[in-house]
Amino acid sequence: MTNYSLAKEFYASRGIDTEAAIQRAALIPLSIHCWQGDDVGGFEGGSLDGGLAATGNYPGKARNVDELRADIEQSIALIPGPKRLSLHTFYADTRGKKVPRDEIAPEHFDNWIEWGKAAGVPLDFNHSYFAHPFSADGLTLSHPDKKIREFWIRHGKASRRIADAFGKAFNTRCVNNCWAPDGYKDTPFDRVAPRERLLDALDQVFAEKLPNQLDAVECKLFGVGCESYTVGSHEFYMGYAVTRQKLLCLDVGHFHPTETLTDKISSVAPFVPGVLLHLSRGVRWDSDHVVTFTDDLLATVEQALNVMPADRIFLALDYFDASINRIAAWAIGARNVRKAMLAAFLQPRGILAKAEDGFDFSTRLAVQEEAKTYPLGAVWDEACRRASTPLDGEWMAAVKQYEKNALSKRK
C-alpha cells in the first residue's frame, strides 16, 4: 500500500475523509504578494518608509517588471492550488512614463491584466500610502495639511478604480486593501484630530460605488517611526469596518507579539462582511518573516476556514525577506499556508465537537494533542501530486536551477 492509502485508512478510522479534504483545500485561492520579489521596491525608484524595512541583500532581486513576472511564474509553479496575485500601486507598468500616484489609472496595469489572464492568476490590489515624498512626515490620510491629505484621497479613489477594473477583467471581485502608516514616534498631544481626519478621508475615498471590488481596511499596533501612536489602530479600523461594512484586514504581525489572530476571526465575523488575513510571521515586531508551519498558523487558518464561509474569508501573504532566495521565500510561505489549509480540513471535528458538547474536556485535549502527529504529510504529498506540483524535498532543486540560470546573472 502507498503512504497515502495508509493515511487515508488512518483518517477514515477517525471519521475524516481525506478525499473531501483534498478537494476542499484545492478550491481555496491564496493571494501571493508581488513585493517579495523585489523587497517592496516597486517601479517608482523611491525608498521605503512608514515603518517598513526589507533586510538582507541576497543576490538576484527583480530589477524590472519582466524579471518580477518571471520570478512570480517560477514561484507559482511550485505552489499547489489556485493562486491570485496582489499588487501595490507603485508596481504599475507605465512603460517608463512618470505618473503621479493620484493620477494612476487602470490603463497603467493593462500589461498586468494581460499577464494574469495568460497565467490564469486573477489580480488583487493595495493602496500605497508609503515610500513617497508626501508620506515623509509619517502622516498621509490624516495629515493636517489639506493639500497633502487631498492628494492621498485622490490616490485612494484611483486605487479603487484600478481594483474595480481588475474585478471586471477577471470576472471575480478584486480584494483591495487600504493600509496607511500614519502615526507618531513619540507621544502626541492630540490623539483625536488625526483620527477625525482619517475618518473623513476614508469616507471620501470609499464614496464611489464600485461593484467589482471589495474594500478592506487594515489596522496596526505600531511601526518603526510610529511606536507611540498609530492613527489606524485595531479599534479604529474594527469600528470603521463594522459601521461602513468593509472587510477587516487582520495582519499576523500587526498586533502585540503575544497576541494571535485565532480568537479575533470568530469575534469579528458576525459584524463585518468578510475578513482578509495577511499571513506573515512577526518576530518581536512586525518584521514580516516568511510564514512557517507553526501552531499559530494552523490555528489561524483552521479558524478562518471552519468559522467563516468561503465567500467571506480571504487568505493572502504579506512578508518580504531579502536574506534568502526570494523564490524560495515565496514557495516556503505559500506551501506552508496551503498545507495549513489541508490540515484544517483534516481535523477530527466530529470527535472534538462531541467531546466538547459533552463537557469531556480530557478527551478534547487528548485528541487535540494526538492530531498534531496525524499523517498529514502523506495527504499533502498526494495533494501536490494531483496538482502536478513538486513534493516536499523536490521543489528546491527547481529553485536552485532557476537561481543558476536567471538570478545569478542579475548584477
Q: Say which residues have a Cβ less than 8 Å from residue 347's Cβ, sequence separation at least 6.
A: 16, 302, 306, 371
**What's the first-to-final CA gap in the chain, in angstroms?**
50
Catalytic residue (one of 218, 381, 382, 403): 218
Amino acid identity, residue 291?
A: V
Identify whether 288 is a catalytic site residue. yes
220 is catalytic: yes
Catalytic residue among 251, 302, 321, 381: 251
pLDDT at 49: 56
Q: What is the pLDDT of residue 257?
A: 80
- In whole angstroms, what is the distance from residue 228 CA to residue 17 CA? 49
Residue 190, all three cell numbers: 492630540
Residue given cell 489541508 in the structure block: 342
**Residue 217 CB burial class (10 angstroms; 0-12, 13-18, ≥19):** buried
Instruction: Provide the residue count of the chain.
Output: 411
Active site residue 318: yes
Maximum CA pair distance of the chain? Answer: 70
Catalytic one among 132, 143, 220, 234? Answer: 220
pLDDT at residue 226, as a whole number:
84
Catalytic residue among 39, 44, 71, 286: 286
Q: What is the pLDDT of residue 306?
A: 87
Query: Which residue of the set 83, 108, 155, 254 is catalytic?
Result: 254
SS3 120: coil
Q: Mean pLDDT per 10-residue run, the chain (411 residues)?
A: 92 96 97 93 69 76 95 97 97 91 96 97 97 92 97 98 98 97 94 97 98 96 86 96 98 87 93 96 85 95 91 95 95 98 96 95 96 96 97 96 93 78
The SS3 call for residue 32 is strand
Q: Which amino acid is at 239?
A: G
Domains of the chain: 40-59+82-327 (3.20.20.150)
User: What is the spatial distance between Cα 38 and Cα 125, in angstroms, rounded to a whole number?
Assistant: 17
**Set 93, 215, 288, 302: catalytic member:** 288
Q: Which of 8, 83, 132, 278 is catalytic?
A: 278
Of 159, 149, 158, whose CA–CA distance to 201 is shortest? 149
Strand segments, DSSP code E, in 146-271 are 174-178, 183-184, 213-218, 229-230, 247-251
The question of whether 286 is a catalytic residue gets the answer: yes
Is 179 annotated as catalytic? yes
39 is catalytic: no
Contact predicate 307/344, CB 8 Å: no
Between CA 8 and CA 17 the distance in angstroms is 7
